[in-house]
A and B are shown apart, each in its own frame.
Chain A
Amino acid sequence: MRLLTDYMLSSNIKGVTNGFPLRLEVEKSVEKEVDFNADFLKNMFPKIEWKALVDAFRSMGYTELPNEAESPMLDSKEFLKKFHHALLQLHLEEGALICPETGRRFPVSKGIPNMLLHEDEVFDEVYQIESQF
């Protein structure tokens, strides 16, 4: 699982209002070589909230990137390389994503996060309506 995924996900357990950012619990992380693709990085950069993404990088132990970034930095090859490495080459292989509010663990196994909710976590207003009567 790449860190972009962690940045994009939130816990959608019923009743949770602040389901993100999901905290990373790292058991095993790997680095996978990925072809450098500047177009993709430049396309993604304006779409993301830098602070939240950098926090995810930090929790994986990657601290090379600055806390703040502006689009002119995309002209720097060095910055792009680091961004590329953090965004696409760092993988969380085994571990979990942790809901900041409830502490629920969403396990990450073989690099695939399991975001499926248990029966009693599904947000269903139907029951809430019924229980009022």
Chain B
Amino acid sequence: MWYLCVFFHRLLDYRRPEVESLAKLFGVFGDGDGDCCLEWRLPEQHHPDSPFHFIHLPSEDLARSIANRSILVKGIYELWGEGSSYEELEDTIKSYPDDRKLPYLTPESTFKITVDSFGKVIGFQEQNERIQGLAYIPFKGQVNLRNPDHRFWLMETDDYGSNNGLPPVVQRRIFFGREVGAAARKLLPTYQLKSRNYLGPTAMDAEMAFLMANQALATRGKLVYDPFVGTGSILIAAAHFGAMTMGEDIDIRVVRDGRGPDCNVWSNFKQTLFSYEYLIHQPLSGANELLAWLIYSCLLQYGLPMPISLLRADNNLPPWRPGLEEVISCPLLLVFWKFPVLDDLYGNLVFDAIICDPPYGVRAGGRKSGGRKLMKGAVAPYTVPDDKRTDHIPSTASYSLAECVHDLLDLAARMLIMGGRLVFFYPVLRENGSSEKRFPEHPCFMLVAACEQILSPRYSRILLTMVKTESYSEEVRESARKNHLGFKENHLKWLVDGNLHSAVFSPDNSQMGMVGDSKFNKESKPKYRGKYV
């Protein structure tokens, strides 16, 4: 059946993929890894960014489940009528089959009608007039504004002349429908960052964290892993949906000798202040204990299940034991891999989903094991004297985005269950204005969604959702190992090539000569904001 799906006018790219992921989670496509495409339709002459969409779903229960768990769906409605004028609306509502309408209009039920509009505010007086205009619908029940049995919505959108950055509306359109389910947005104020006890400089925004958890199909019984856990913002969202969580981080922004004047003291201070791993590594002190407590308190605060574990490790050299991954070395087995007898082969895979926001060097840079001495290559690696081993703080080197993403994909391919999801942010520069973007690829993964969030005129980040569709084979392992070595050998080259920081923060030369015209520039910008919302 077709339903009207109305979105919040936010994060436009994320809206349909979220609904599709939730449809997958609630079993719209059956248990298989089969076709993950929902049928969508736009109202006549509507811009694709319009908040009004039609969606085909097998049942009302599924529609309700999807809406209730969603962050960006304002509501899913059973459409009783639509039209470009109130006369047309009346005709379509009247011709909508009575057996669909009457069960919701019975005398013993309560109801509420809400008048809503997109791109304009309708005054209270006017709202009342519109509701009274619906008198041709035989409402028999009582009105209950607090807690009605049935909620009805009258929604209107029009070409109001000035569109204030909203998608252009060509023609007036009015919808009337019965609410099937509404979004879980109420949980956002509970989880908003400012209510947290412990925050880092790059803590993930609550709304985005919930969207990521939805993309990863986090739910009760699943194990979700974040290899760049930081302050745990992403895991909080996954834990809210009942998943068990596990986090890893290397972040020790230690003030090291020889990093030179380039080393920003301010950022350094900020990092060490918030980096619990660093503090935990220090000899015991009051502050140390306090900080360890604070990380857990973030999760305690919401009464969520604690992470199974947090550990300090390096994404570049993951410490997971070999037995946990899936490797099919015998080519013969590949032929029979669908036979249930061989299910044991996949038995040891642990993670149902990996969700993370890798450091891409703009606000926080990545680190990996190995220091200055390792980078220069010619000098033999530093040997730790035996008497200093116990409390030694190992040096770390910067970790280029390309290598970081390569390691992440390899780790995910090894450790995720078949059909498990990898959800992570990938930054792209927007300078060339080219719409063609290249994303990381892996033979074990299929990209199911790429959602852009524009962060500045210079760059945006894209939430990539990948599904594991192929087993991790010996071949993949070998090519990953070669790449790993390649990254080691050309460490400096990768760091320079993949340096987003300078591209994002350097002054823009092309605009230097136009300072005087800046006002003019501002006004010439197109009104429609699209993905900026």
Chain B interface residues toward A at CB < 8 A: 220-223, 242, 244, 246, 250, 252, 277, 280-281, 288-289, 292, 305-306, 308-314, 317-324, 347-350, 352, 369-371, 373-374, 377-378, 380-384, 389-390, 392, 394-395, 417, 485, 488-489
Contact = CB atoms under 8 A, between A and B. Distances in A.
A118 to B, nearest CB: 5
B223 A44 contact: yes
B220 A113 contact: no
Contacts, number: 146
A19 B324 CA distance: 13
- Using C-beta atoms within 8 Å of the partner chain, give the interface range for chain A: 35 or more
Contact of B221 (A37, A88, A124): A37
13 contacts: A5-B309, A11-B319, A34-B305, A43-B222, A46-B347, A52-B323, A112-B310, A113-B312, A116-B369, A117-B314, A119-B373, A120-B383, A125-B485
Please provide the 7 A-B residue pairs with the shortest distance between their CB atoms, ordered closest to farther: A39-B221, A10-B321, A110-B292, A115-B313, A5-B309, A20-B321, A115-B319
B136 to A, nearest CB: 49
A126 B377 CA distance: 8
Contacts of B317: 12, 117, 122-123
A87 B352 CA distance: 18
Interface of A: 1-2, 4-5, 8-12, 19-21, 32, 34-35, 37, 39-40, 42-44, 46-49, 52, 88, 105, 109-120, 122-127, 130
B289 A9 contact: no
Contact of A116 (B250, B374, B383): B250
A4 B322 contact: no
B394 A88 contact: no
A118 B348 contact: no
Contact of A118 (B288, B292, B377, B394): B394
A112 B488 contact: no
Contacts of A48: 348, 350
Nearest to A88: B308
Contacts of B322: 10, 20
A96 to B, nearest CB: 10
Given A37-B220, A111-B292, A122-B374, A5 B244 contact: no
B370 A112 contact: no
Contact of A126 (B244, B252, B289, B489): B489
Contacts of A117: 314, 317, 369, 394
Interface centre among A34, A88, A112, A126 (most CB of B within 10 A): A112
B93 to A, nearest CB: 44
Contact of B312 (A40, A115, A118): A115
Contacts of A8: 320-321, 324, 350
A49 B377 contact: no
Contacts of B348: 47-49
Nearest to A11: B319
Contacts of B324: 8
A80 B377 CA distance: 52
Given A4-B308, A20-B321, A113-B311, A119 B370 contact: yes
A133 B370 CA distance: 23
Given A48-B348, A112-B292, A119 B371 contact: yes
A37 B350 contact: no
A116 B246 CA distance: 17
Given A9-B311, A20-B321, A115-B311, 12 more contacts: A5-B311, A8-B321, A34-B305, A37-B221, A40-B221, A43-B221, A112-B309, A114-B277, A117-B317, A119-B383, A120-B381, A123-B317
Contacts of A113: 309, 311-312
A4 B220 contact: no
Nearest to B281: A114
Contact of B381 (A12, A34, A46, A124): A124
B370 A124 contact: yes
A19 B317 CA distance: 13
Contacts of A114: 277, 280-281, 311-312
A94 B6 CA distance: 52
Contacts of B382: 119-120
A92 to B, nearest CB: 10
Contacts of B288: 110
Nearest to A126: B488
A78 B288 CA distance: 39
Contacts of B384: 118-120
A43 B420 CA distance: 13
A34 B299 CA distance: 13
B391 to A, nearest CB: 9
B312 A20 contact: no
Contacts of B380: 127
Contacts of A52: 323
A127 B381 contact: yes
A40 B244 contact: yes
Of residues B280, B352, B382, B392, which shows the largest number of chain A Cβ atoms within 10 Å of its Cβ?
B280
A74 to B, nearest CB: 12
Nearest to A104: B389
